[in-house]
């Protein structure tokens, strides 16, 4: 398959991508798990793996009390009418924006030690939080293989060129708030697939590598590049819900989905009072070199 016959239809005349995937990209093969780490990675190891495999697992970022608090916060934001999140013919789907500008209880989830150094290692100068979501999904939910952000096509050979270092412009930290099982619909990641340099088109494997499950424990985090091919396995449980938080990061060339903290009129007094200097830096909208 060449770039021209697969990715061309996904591009605007300017050469920029318009879509995250095309055609049928749902993975229905045999499910295998990503290797579970035997320890917390060092920042250098994490940064290196973000370039080679495109994802890193961080065990035990949250303790059990923090997992319970975050789940409770998600239920609180969901409100009393739980039924409204049941989408007829599909699944329970409750997703709220991480409202960093008005919710001080979210501040603690953007700068966890070890994870933050990895984020800075791949996005600096100017690594910042660009958005996120609090997301609870139920039985029947699955997501086809896609990229989150791959702004332009690159031939695969570029990634293998000696000395090449293709930057990740965006990344996402997924905080899992369940002990994951296959029937809860784990996230799927194809290791190394950011080197495809394009979104998937009518395919759910890359170079013969199948998607593998992020089979982690509650409180673990998976950080992955926006250009890696990923999706989610079917939630085949009777009535079990998967609780997950996404925190999106980007380089300074990526816009935020909310006003930067320098525009204080949009921010709550509580957040302004409680944000640490590091959190302020991450919440600041980049203003240039
Ligand atoms: O729910 C998941 O595990 C994957 C979510 C995802 O890939 C997305 O929101 O773009
Ligand atoms: Fe995604």
For ligand 1, is residue 232 a contact (CB within 6 Å)?
Answer: yes
pTM for the predicted model, two decimal places: 0.96
Per-residue pLDDT of 1-54, as tens digits, reads 455 456 667 888 887 888 999 999 999 999 999 999 999 999 999 999 999 999
Mutate to test the pocket of ligand 1, among 172, 176, 229, 230 (most ligand atoms within 8 A of CB): 230
Q: Ligand 1 mean position to 143 CA, how many Å?
A: 7
Angstrom distance (rounded) from CA 79 to CA 100: 18
For ligand 1, is residue 143 a contact (CB within 6 Å)?
Answer: yes
Judged by average pLDDT, the poorest of 47-61, 123-137, 148-162, 243-257 is 148-162
For residue 197, give both structure tokens: 């340099």
For ligand 1, is residue 235 a contact (CB within 6 Å)?
Answer: no
Q: Ligand 2 mean position to 214 CA, how many Å?
A: 13
- Position 113 scores a pLDDT of 97
- Position 214 scores a pLDDT of 99
Domains of the chain, start order: 3-283 (2.60.120.620)
Closest ligand 1 atom, residue 135 Cα: 1
Whether the Cβ atoms of residue 50 and residue 118 lie closer than 8 Å to each other: yes
- 230, 222, 46: which is closest to 120 by C-alpha? 46
Burial (CB < 10 A; 0-12, 13-18, 19+), residue 123, is: buried
Q: Ligand 2 mean position to 145 CA, how many Å?
A: 8
Closest ligand 1 atom, residue 186 Cα: 3
For ligand 1, is residue 242 a contact (CB within 6 Å)?
Answer: no
Q: Is the pLDDT of residue 288 over 80?
A: no
Residues 6+ away with beta carbon under 8 Å from 146: 20, 21, 25, 199, 200, 229, 230, 231
For ligand 1, is residue 230 a contact (CB within 6 Å)?
Answer: yes
For ligand 1, is residue 49 a contact (CB within 6 Å)?
Answer: no
Q: Ligand 2 mean position to 65 CA, how many Å?
A: 27
- Position 49 scores a pLDDT of 98
Per-residue pLDDT of 214-231, as tens digits, reads 999 999 999 999 999 999
């Amino acid at each position: 398959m060449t770039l021209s016959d697969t990715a061309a239809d996904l591009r605007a005349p300017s050469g920029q991508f318009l879509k995250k995937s095309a055609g049928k990209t749902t993975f229905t093969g045999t499910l295998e798990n990503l290797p579970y780490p035997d320890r917390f990675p060092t920042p250098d190891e994490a940064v290196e793996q973000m370039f080679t495999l495109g994802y890193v697992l961080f065990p035990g970022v949250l303790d059990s009390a923090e997992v319970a608090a975050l789940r409770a916060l998600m239920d609180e934001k969901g409100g009393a009418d739980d039924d409204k999140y049941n989408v007829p013919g599909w699944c329970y789907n409750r997703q709220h924006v991480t409202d960093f500008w008005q919710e001080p209880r979210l501040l603690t989830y953007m700068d966890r030690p070890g994870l933050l150094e990895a984020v800075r290692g791949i996005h600096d100068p100017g690594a910042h939080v660009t958005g996120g979501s609090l997301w609870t999904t139920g039985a029947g939910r699955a997501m086809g293989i896609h990229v989150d952000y791959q702004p332009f096509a690159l031939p695969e050979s570029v990634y293998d060129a000696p000395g090449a270092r293709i930057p990740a412009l965006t990344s996402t930290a997924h905080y899992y708030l369940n002990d994951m099982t296959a029937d809860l619909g784990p996230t799927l990641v194809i290791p190394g697939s950011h080197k495809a340099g394009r979104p998937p088109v009518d395919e759910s494997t890359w170079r013969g590598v199948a998607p593998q499950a992020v089979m982690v424990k509650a409180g673990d985090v998976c950080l992955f590049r926006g250009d890696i091919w990923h999706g989610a396995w079917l939630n085949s449980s009777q009535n079990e819900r998967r609780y997950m938080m996404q925190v999106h990061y980007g380089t300074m060339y990526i816009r935020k989905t909310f006003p930067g903290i320098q525009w204080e009129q949009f921010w709550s007094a509580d957040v302004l009072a409680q944000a640490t200097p590091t959190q302020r830096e991450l919440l600041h909208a980049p203003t240039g070199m």
